Amino acid sequence: MQVFTLPAFYKWFLLILLTSLVSCSTTQPSVDSILFSSEAAQTNISSAGSSPISPTLTAIPQSTPWQSSRNTDIPSFTVELTKVANDLLVWAEDIRREGDLVKVLVCYELPDHSDWMIDHAFLDYKEGDTSLESTELIELDPPSSDGKKGRRCDEVTFPIPEKVDLSHVSLTVEQLRATPNEGEYCYVYNNEVQPTLDARQTGIKLECNDVDHGYELSVLEKPDSLSQEEAERLVYDFFTISGPWVSQFSEVPDFIFDPLPYSVKPNGSTFLREGDLFKIDLCVQINNNDWEAWQVQEGILQYAGKEDRYFGTTTQLHRISPVNAKIAKYCGILEGFPNLGEIPINAIASDFTLTITSIIPVINNSNLCSTYLEQVQNQLGRRMYGAQVQCGKSITGKYVLQSVNSPKSIRLSKSAWERVLANVRLFTFLQGPWTFDFK
């Protein structure tokens, strides 16, 4: 008997647990919402790469539809997705561009207590397409004990090039995927997945063992008609609902602001190497002293034609000059283990170059309701949005920027607009690049 072990990627994916939870509006989709439609073929577990879950779709148009190359979609479109006997509603709203990112809120009902999430998604626009970069959990309402379905909302983020045409974009969610809850992995695979595979006469036998901080899942037996990869994919895809769900958007709200009008000048740096650990002590001068500290958004360390674009990211540069100084000096230490391959022990400081592409101010309780609020209102005024903002306490007791009014030019829900207002990188940033050479 030959043992097949699932690739590390599959194991790591099944161990992912989302732990952050932020508040989100709990209203149903508004008339400005876009709801997904999908055409999913019936699936059979004996077919490699398919899912044993076969969604059935009923589309209910609310106004005159129009045809796209992929699917039928209109600005207010209800789609009911059925998994076994449970309808699952999926919808999207609050799409917008924030600088070099497109964000959209995707919500879906939860059929059970498994950790359901968006697996694959991409965004099409006139000049090309871009794949899902990240998701952020905005709302999680688990299913109730009386059988009422839960709901989850994720803010999905896509990187987007500058100056692309977003007058018509298409969002595709290819599938939803679930993993068992933490501590229940092997119980579910041994007591639910394996009996189902047996009942369907797949010829696949699993072995699941609990190990430290996780579990180990292996395919012990498979039919000769399936390759190892096909058998592993069937097990990996057991908890999936396949789409695609495709939605068309037009006139995506665009929030792009100019950098703050400050000048930045590199002001000294030292390079230190301790084995594989690199430390760069540097300072900059800024002709403004409103902020106590700045944070590096991207540090690019270069060596021998290679670069690590994440070196020193999130490092804070603190003000060391007097508060009333016209030219403020900020210093900090960027350190880490650069991803530059093998670096000879005899490499010298002058072989390296550091480039910082942008920095943002560090926002805290001392400046959120004063300096930051003022800068946000100034940026909104320059773009003539007509939006008024105030500082107040959220339901969690933290101070946040809140919307006073909702002009039609914003075209977002109140909760989404307040998430835009919290994007420090959008309203208050300084754009480089600034290069540091070493001796």
Q: What is the pLDDT of residues 367-407, one digit of tens each?
A: 999 999 999 999 999 988 888 999 998 888 889 999 998 78
Whole-number pLDDT of residue 439 = 84
Same domain for 134 and 15?
A: yes
Residue pointed to by tokens 């899942």: 217
DSSP letters spanning 95-137: EEEETTEEEEEEEEEESSSSEEEEEEEEEEETTEEEE--EEEE
3-state secondary structure 243-286: EEEEEEEECCCEECCCCCCCCEEEEEEEEEEECCEEEEEEEEEE
Q: In terms of domains, do 68 and 14 share one? A: yes
The verdict on 144 and 10 lying in the same domain is: yes
Tokens (6 digits) for 429: 């940033």
107-111, 196-200, 282-286 — most confident range:
282-286
Q: From CA 52, how far away is CA 42, in angstroms rounded?
A: 9
Give the span between the Cα atoms of 143 and 374, in whole angstroms: 42
Q: Which of 71, 87, 82, 66 lies closest to 37, judged by CA?
A: 71
Residues 285 and 391 grouped into a single domain: no
Give the residues across from 307 on adjacent strands: 302
Q: For residue 31, what pLDDT band results from cuts at 50, 70 and 90?
A: very low
d(C-alpha 319, C-alpha 328), whole Å: 7
Query: In terms of Cα–Cα distance, which of 367, 363, 404, 370 is closest to 385?
Result: 404
Residue 46's alpha-carbon distances to 84, 230, 233, in angstroms, are 18, 10, 11
Residue that is last in its domain, among 218, 252, 286: 252
Q: Are residues 312 and 376 in the same domain?
A: no
Residue 223 is assigned to a structural domain of this protein: no
> Do residues 367 and 382 touch, judged by C-beta distance below 8 A?
no
- 158-172 pLDDT, tens digit each: 999 988 999 899 998
CA distance 393 to 388: 16
Instruction: Please count the helices (runs of H) and the strands (runs of E) in the chain.
Output: 7, 28
Asked whether residue 374 is domain-assigned, the answer is yes
Contact 299, 334 (CB under 8 A): yes
For the chain, percent of residues with pLDDT exceeding 70: 80
Cα within 13 Å of Cα(81), Cβ side = 29
Task: Identify the residue with better confidence: 78 or 227.
Answer: 227
Domain assignment present for 401: yes
Residue 88, pLDDT score:
66
Enter the DSSP assignment of 201: T
Residue 231 lies in a domain: no
> Of 252, 280, 301, which residue constitutes the final position of a domain?
252
Same-domain status, 268 and 373: no
Write the DSSP string, 220-244. Answer: EE--TTS-HHHHHHHHHTTTEEEEE
Q: How many domains does the chain have?
A: 3
- 195, pLDDT greater than 80: yes
Least confident stretch, 198-212, 258-272, 340-354: 198-212
pLDDT for the residue numbered 2: 35
333-375: pLDDT as tens digits: 999 999 999 999 999 999 999 999 999 999 999 999 999 999 9
Residues 139 and 247 in one domain: yes
Task: State pTM to two decimals.
Answer: 0.70
Output b/e per residue, 365-374; b: 16+ Cβ within 10 A: eebbeebbbe
The identity of residue 437, as a single letter, is D
How far apart (Å, rounded) are the C-alpha atoms in residues 53 and 196? 12
347 lies in the same domain as 411: no
* Cβ 206 vs Cβ 187: under 8 Å: no
- Tell me: do 275 and 244 sit in the same domain: no
Domain-embedded: residue 219? no
In a domain, 208, yes or no: no
Do 396 and 343 belong to one domain? no
Query: Does residue 434 belong to any structural domain of this protein?
Result: no
Q: Round to the nearest angstrom and report the end-to-end CA distance of the chain.
A: 61
Of the candidates 95, 99, 92, 81, the one whose C-alpha atom is nearest the C-alpha of residue 39 is: 81
407 and 311 housed in the same domain:
no
Residue 193 inside a domain? The answer is no
Expressed as residue numbers, the domain containing 385 is 368-427
Among 344, 362, 380, the domain boundary falls at 362
Question: Within this chain, do residues 51 and 147 fall inside the same structural domain, yes or no?
Answer: yes
